Amino acid sequence: MGDFGKVAVMFGGKSVEREVSLNSGAAVLEALLRCGVDAHAFDPAYRNFQELVDESFDRVFIALHGHYGEDGTVQGALEFMGVPYTGSGVMASALGMDKWRCKLVWQAANLPIPDYEILDDSSDLGEVSNRLGLPLFVKPAKEGSSVGISKVHAASALKEAYSKAVKYDSLVLAEQYIGAGEYTVALLGDQALPVIRIEPANEFYDYEAKYLSDETGYLCPSGLSAEHEIEMQSLAKKAFSLIGGQGWGRVDFLMSEERRLYLLEANTSPGMTDHSLVPMAARHAGISFEQLVVRILELAHVG
């Protein structure tokens, strides 16, 4: 293992995903310490970035989720300071956080995505439901961990779902429901890890199903044919590359009844909790949690 110098594990932060980040960062910090890395907790909600220079940190492991950590803001600050950090750069982080603009990039490259509409106060919600069909999803464009998302079964419920989502972001999406399976592909360097099929305990893969429930099912092997799995891994690598993704990440998919794949979203700072998908996929590839965090740290970069 290389000498990483003094490492700051950056977690916590100010977003609504703070609690998830605290869990991710604690797991990463403990794993790095077990590997003999000189790693230290660094919560930007309470510490000034200048301390990274003053205390001679050599690189940063970003375990932040949501705004002010996953959206390019922290990445830009670290680049300006010349401090190497894990994961994607400013552009990819911002695009991964912004579901609408990420969709625009993928659309421009003719990659498959669910149909969608942007909602605002003047939207004709009845027309939206007619065009996209029911059920459909309503979600804030720039939140993670399923925060603010609703599955809408009736047009009459669209207004309430919009009101819920707009509390988290002024940009709100209505998205076509595609319901024959949800999958994810974790990426580590140039490697696509084994596909995981997600079978939520709840009606959809919401916050509770992701982080709190022990009833959510994760299938790895995914049950897909070898050809279908290779297709999904290849599409994940292409989609991640198109937004400028680097180091590690995750790309989520939906599958239709006709077995067609649709890109759902990219995650440039995935969770690292005991319910998280990247460590799960790595484990099935023969990569321990300790090996995973060290590999991610090896891939740290400046700018």
Q: Choose, from 98, 148, 271, 276, the residue flagged as catalytic.
A: 271
Give me the half-sphere count of Cα atoms (radius 13 Å) on the Cβ side of residue 231. 14
CB of 140 within 8 A of CB of 147? yes
Concerning whether 117 is annotated as a catalytic residue, the answer is: no
Helix-helix angle 90-97:99-108, to 10 degrees: 110
Q: Choose, from 18, 249, 265, 276, the residue flagged as catalytic.
A: 265
Concerning whether 96 is annotated as a catalytic residue, the answer is: no
Concerning whether 145 is annotated as a catalytic residue, the answer is: yes
Concerning whether 85 is annotated as a catalytic residue, the answer is: no
Q: Choose, from 12, 15, 17, 162, the residue flagged as catalytic.
A: 17
Q: Choose, from 250, 262, 269, 276, the residue flagged as catalytic.
A: 250
E strands within 78-181?
Answer: 116-119, 136-140, 150-152, 172-176
Q: Choose, from 145, 146, 222, 269, the residue flagged as catalytic.
A: 145
Concerning whether 3 is annotated as a catalytic residue, the answer is: no
CB of 268 within 8 A of CB of 234? no
Concerning whether 110 is annotated as a catalytic residue, the answer is: no
Q: Choose, from 222, 252, 269, 276, the residue flagged as catalytic.
A: 252
Burial pattern 87-112, b for ≥16 Cβ within 10 A else e, equals bbbbebbbbbbbbebbbebbeeeebb
Helix segments in 66-115, DSSP class H: 73-81, 90-97, 99-108
Prior bond of 112 cis (ω within 30°): no
In angstroms, the CA 147 to CA 167 distance is: 10
In angstroms, the CA 89 to CA 79 distance is: 9
Q: Choose, from 211, 247, 262, 276, the residue flagged as catalytic.
A: 211
Q: Choose, from 23, 222, 267, 276, the residue flagged as catalytic.
A: 267
Q: Residue 148 gets which letter from DSSP?
A: T
Active-site positions read: 17, 145, 211, 250, 252, 265, 267, 271
